[in-house]
C-alpha cells in the first residue's frame, strides 16, 4: 500500500470510529434524558395525584414510556426538547401531548397485552406507540392528512407493526376494527361521540377530554359496565386541541 493510500485509509477508519462513538454517546444521552423524563412523570403523579384517585402510574406504563424514542416523534428543530415534560408543536397547529398526560391517560385505560385500542387523533403517533409497547393492537385515526401519513410512516419505520393508522374523522370511530377494549380521544370534544360508545366493548374504558375548544376541558373516564350501562367520572382539568370535523 502506498503512503497516501495508507493515510487515506487511516483517516477513513478514524472518521468511522468517531462517528460510531458520537452516535453511541448521542443514543446514551437520549436514553438518559428519557429516563429523567420518566422519573419526572412518576414524581408528578405522586405529587399531583391527577384526580385519578391514585398517586401513582402503573410501572408497566412508565416502562413503556421509557422505551418509546420520543425524539423520533417531534420535528428535528425540537429534538433538544424531546424529553421535556411538556407538549410540543408538531406542525399543522397540532401538538404532541405532555408525557405526563400521555402516561395518565394510558394508565386510566388499563390496557393489557392483546387488547384492541382505538385512538382518535394520531398526531405524531407517540400515544399509539406507547399503547403498542403495552402489547395492545392499536387502530388510530387522524383527520389531518399529512400528519396521518407521516405518523403512519414513522410508526412503520420504528417497527410498530401493531398500529394501524388511517386518515379520517374519528368522531365516527372505526367500526370495521371494533369493538374495542379501550378508546382514547386525544382532542377535546363537546360531547362523547355516540359511535365511540357503541364501539366500546362491555367492560371497556374510554378516556376523553370534554369541554369547549381553546379553554380547559375535563378529562372524563367513561366505562361501559358488563350490563351495558355507562358510568362517567370527571378526573382532571386538561387542555387539548379541539376535535374538528364539525359535529357540535
Which positions are annotated as active-site residues?
Answer: 97
- Closer Cβ to ligand SAH, 13 or 237, answer by number: 237
- Closer Cβ to ligand SAH, 23 or 146, answer by number: 146
3-state secondary structure of 106: helix
What DSSP designation does 79 have? G
Question: What nine digits make up the cell of 234?
Answer: 370527571
Phi, psi of 227 (to 5 degrees): -90, 5
| 15 close to 23: Cβ distance less than 8 angstroms | no
- Closer Cβ to ligand SAH, 124 or 217, answer by number: 124
Q: Grid cell 355507562 — which residue?
A: 230
| 246 close to 218: Cβ distance less than 8 angstroms | no
- Closer Cβ to ligand SAH, 83 or 171, answer by number: 171
Please report how close the Cβ of residue 224 comes to ligand SAH at its closest, in angstroms: 21
Please report how close the Cβ of residue 149 comes to ligand SAH at its closest, in angstroms: 12
Categorise residue 150: left if φ over 0, alpha if ψ from -120 to 50, beta otherwise: alpha
Please report how close the Cβ of residue 78 comes to ligand SAH at its closest, in angstroms: 12
Q: Which residues bind ligand SAH (CB under 6 A)?
A: 94-97, 120-121, 123-124, 126-127, 141-144, 147, 169-171, 186-187, 241, 243-245
Please report how close the Cβ of residue 225 comes to ligand SAH at its closest, in angstroms: 27
Amino acid at each position: 500500500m502506498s503512503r497516501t493510500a495508507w493515510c487515506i485509509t487511516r483517516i477513513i477508519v478514524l472518521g468511522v470510529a468517531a462517528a460510531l462513538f458520537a452516535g453511541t454517546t448521542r443514543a446514551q444521552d437520549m436514553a438518559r434524558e428519557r429516563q429523567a423524563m420518566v422519573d419526572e412523570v412518576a414524581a408528578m403523579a405522586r405529587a399531583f395525584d391527577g384526580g385519578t384517585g391514585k398517586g401513582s402510574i402503573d410501572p408497566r406504563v412508565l416502562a413503556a414510556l421509557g422505551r418509546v424514542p420520543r425524539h423520533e416523534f417531534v420535528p428535528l428543530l425540537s429534538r433538544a426538547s424531546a424529553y421535556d415534560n411538556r407538549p410540543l408543536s408538531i406542525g399543522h397547529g397540532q401538538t404532541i401531548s405532555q408525557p405526563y398526560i400521555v402516561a395518565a391517560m394510558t394508565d386510566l385505560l388499563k390496557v393489557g397485552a392483546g387488547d384492541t385500542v382505538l385512538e382518535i387523533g394520531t398526531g405524531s403517533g407517540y400515544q399509539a406507540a406507547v399503547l403498542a409497547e403495552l402489547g395492545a393492537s392499536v387502530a388510530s385515526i387522524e383527520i389531518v392528512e399529512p400528519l396521518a401519513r407521516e405518523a403512519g410512516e414513522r410508526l412503520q419505520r420504528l417497527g410498530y407493526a401493531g398500529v394501524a393508522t388511517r386518515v379520517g374523522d374519528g368522531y365516527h370511530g372505526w367500526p370495521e376494527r371494533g369493538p374495542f377494549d379501550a378508546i382514547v380521544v386525544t382532542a377535546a370534544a363537546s360531547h362523547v361521540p355516540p359511535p365511540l360508545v357503541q364501539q366500546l366493548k362491555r367492560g371497556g374504558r374510554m378516556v376523553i377530554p370534554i369541554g369547549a375548544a381553546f379553554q380547559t376541558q375535563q378529562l372524563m373516564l367513561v366505562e361501559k359496565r358488563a350490563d351495558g350501562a355507562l358510568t362517567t367520572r370527571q378526573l382532571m382539568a386538561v387542555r387539548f386541541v379541539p376535535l374538528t370535523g364539525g359535529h357540535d
